[in-house]
Copies of this chain bind each other. A is one copy, B any other.
Amino acid sequence: MAAEIDPHFTRNINEQAIAEVCQQLSDQFGKRFTTGMALREQHGHTTTGLVTQAPDGVVFVENTEDVSQVVSLCHDKDVPVIAFGAGSSLEGQLNAPFGGICIDLSAMNAIVSVSAEDLDCRVEAGVTRQQLNDYLRDTGLFFPIDPGAEATFGGMAATRASGTNAVRYGTMRDNILSLKAVMADGRVIETASRAKKSAAGYDLTRLLIGSEGTLGIITEITLKLSGIPQAISGGVCGFPDLESACNAVIMTIQSGIPVARIELLDVMQVKACNLHSKLGLKERPTLFVEFHGTERGVAEQADMFADIVEDCGGADFEWATRAEDRSRLWTARHSAYWASFALRPGSINVTSDACVPISRLADCVSETQRMIEEFGLIATIVGHVGDGNFHVQLLLDPEDRGEQERAELFLSQLAKLAISMGGTCTGEHGVGQGKMKHMEEEFGSALAYMAAIKKALDPKNIMNPGKIVPNFG
């Protein structure tokens, strides 16, 4: 039956075929193809605790036609292909457990077109969000999704990324109109028109978003844009405990305040940001918030929020009225990942994320803190709590194997906890290799249909094998 997971649909490393492909790519792409170990390892390197599994070669493509040629060749020879943008994924999405060719799309960084009247634009996969927002500055428009890293749009689409603004603007799922992609057989497709909505056919756009290069390689993206708000205001407030902070978030969402950002930092994360970004905040659970709208609208939202903070026992609500103060705050927030190293110099940082229905947020975060203590780990908690999404960053001694094993156990329990609360093992980092073991628990019988789709669109299993769907690599 097509919908069964087929345990034999795995791959072996075919050294002979890989050598042939490398030779051919070298002939065709010259200096744009490399088998040098440093670049290969850099392209398999993942910002996780997972062991690096380098690809056999890296090809630097310049356009969709290049990608199509590489994929066609690899398809003919039955060799894996792995797409690479900025290398900022967190769950081993870039590892090459079966070898193969890494396709680096970072040179595909053209902003193809901007249609200000339609609030959309077209970019190549290697464009980064900061690059686009710099380019858009004079149009009064911006692209709101902001994962912590300076990721590429190809990578952001492929991992269904989100970030601090998702509570108001949605995730990559909600902000893409169409994709150009190279499929497993090398053919190029466009998934949809530029219309704002459509009821025509299967939603290939959403199927490719979040598929992490396992179904096709995204080469161009039509993005929805948003108007830069007329007014922005934001600030910081502290709470006596995590639960009060979570309750303030829950009440804010339930009141329908269209908050643009609402981020929780636990005591450890505040400590780290103080050390790294010199914020000088009191060390207690803290919310960073931001409101977008008209002058009057923003003032109204802020008033309503201030009432909620007071009701929840929050204190010292400090407004960052000047743009540079806000920028300092959010730069600190975006540096949270790097800041956490300051708590334990020389450590390795293993980051995970989970997402639960917001009614379970306080329970889930409290239980997570209890587990961190129980396992004797050092960790920060920070998150996009308006969506029920939070991150745990574990700071591990690279020499302490016992601690690493406890961390692994903790991460498994965190995923199970989120799933048991009606949530998901990953709100925004994706599955990659790291979360694959939780897919069956999260999806049950639905997983077999993901496997059937994978097999239908990539029958040779050459597209980023060993990711997302278990028993496929």
On whether A422 and B194 interact (CB within 8 A), knowing A444-B189, A453-B456, the answer reads yes
The answer to whether A269 has its CB under 8 Å from any CB of chain B is no
In the complex, the answer to whether A202 meets B197 with C-beta atoms within 8 Å is no
**Nearest B residue (CB) for A1:** B185
Chain B proximity of A223: nearest CB distance (Å) = 13
Question: Please, what's the 1-or-0 string for A414-437, where 1 marks a CB less than 8 Å from any CB in chain B?
Answer: 000011001111111111000100
The answer to whether A187 has its CB under 8 Å from any CB of chain B is yes
- Complex-state Cα separation, A291 to B442, whole angstroms: 39
In the complex, the answer to whether A457 meets B196 with C-beta atoms within 8 Å is no
A2 CB contacts on chain B under 8 angstroms: 456-457, 459
Chain B proximity of A40: nearest CB distance (Å) = 27
Q: Which of B188, B201, B443 contacts A210 (CB 8 A)?
A: B201
Chain B proximity of A169: nearest CB distance (Å) = 12
The answer to whether A161 has its CB under 8 Å from any CB of chain B is yes
- Complex-state Cα separation, A171 to B438, whole angstroms: 30
A459 CB contacts on chain B under 8 angstroms: 2
In the complex, the answer to whether A210 meets B199 with C-beta atoms within 8 Å is yes
Q: Counting chain B CB atoms within 10 Å of each CB, which of A195, A207, A297 scores highest? A: A195
A9 CB contacts on chain B under 8 angstroms: none
In the complex, the answer to whether A202 meets B450 with C-beta atoms within 8 Å is yes
A389 CB contacts on chain B under 8 angstroms: 195-197
A357 CB contacts on chain B under 8 angstroms: 115, 118, 120, 194-196
In the complex, the answer to whether B424 meets A195 with C-beta atoms within 8 Å is yes
- Complex-state Cα separation, A215 to B450, whole angstroms: 13
Chain B proximity of A145: nearest CB distance (Å) = 11
A297 CB contacts on chain B under 8 angstroms: 293, 296-297, 300
A226 CB contacts on chain B under 8 angstroms: 256
Q: Counting chain B CB atoms within 10 Å of each CB, which of A1, A171, A294, A435 scores highest? A: A294
On whether A387 and B196 interact (CB within 8 A), knowing A2-B459, A174-B174, the answer reads yes
**Nearest B residue (CB) for A167:** B196
A159 CB contacts on chain B under 8 angstroms: 199
Interface residues of A in 192-244 (CB under 8 A from B): 192-204, 206-207, 209-211, 215, 226-227, 229
The answer to whether A18 has its CB under 8 Å from any CB of chain B is no
In the complex, the answer to whether B200 meets A209 with C-beta atoms within 8 Å is no
**Nearest B residue (CB) for A360:** B118
In the complex, the answer to whether B425 meets A200 with C-beta atoms within 8 Å is yes
The answer to whether A127 has its CB under 8 Å from any CB of chain B is no
A469 CB contacts on chain B under 8 angstroms: 201
On whether A118 and B358 interact (CB within 8 A), knowing A197-B162, A199-B431, A424-B198, the answer reads yes
On whether A443 and B201 interact (CB within 8 A), knowing A118-B358, A459-B2, the answer reads yes
Q: Which of B161, B191, B199, B425 contacts A426 (CB 8 A)?
A: B199
Chain B proximity of A382: nearest CB distance (Å) = 16
Chain B proximity of A118: nearest CB distance (Å) = 4
A439 CB contacts on chain B under 8 angstroms: 200-201
- Complex-state Cα separation, A469 to B438, whole angstroms: 34
The answer to whether A356 has its CB under 8 Å from any CB of chain B is yes
A211 CB contacts on chain B under 8 angstroms: 202
A438 CB contacts on chain B under 8 angstroms: 200
In the complex, the answer to whether A457 meets B449 with C-beta atoms within 8 Å is yes
Chain B proximity of A457: nearest CB distance (Å) = 6
In the complex, the answer to whether B450 meets A201 with C-beta atoms within 8 Å is yes
On whether A358 and B190 interact (CB within 8 A), knowing A1-B185, A159-B199, the answer reads no
- Complex-state Cα separation, A1 to B186, whole angstroms: 12
In the complex, the answer to whether B196 meets A355 with C-beta atoms within 8 Å is yes
In the complex, the answer to whether B173 meets A203 with C-beta atoms within 8 Å is yes
In the complex, the answer to whether B202 meets A427 with C-beta atoms within 8 Å is no
**Contacts beyond the supplied A118-B358, A189-B443, A200-B430: 11 A-B pairs with Cβ under 8 Å:** A2-B456, A160-B199, A170-B174, A190-B444, A194-B422, A196-B389, A198-B424, A200-B424, A201-B431, A296-B300, A297-B297
11 CB < 8 A contacts A-B: A159-B199, A173-B197, A173-B203, A189-B443, A189-B449, A195-B387, A195-B389, A197-B355, A203-B206, A294-B300, A453-B453
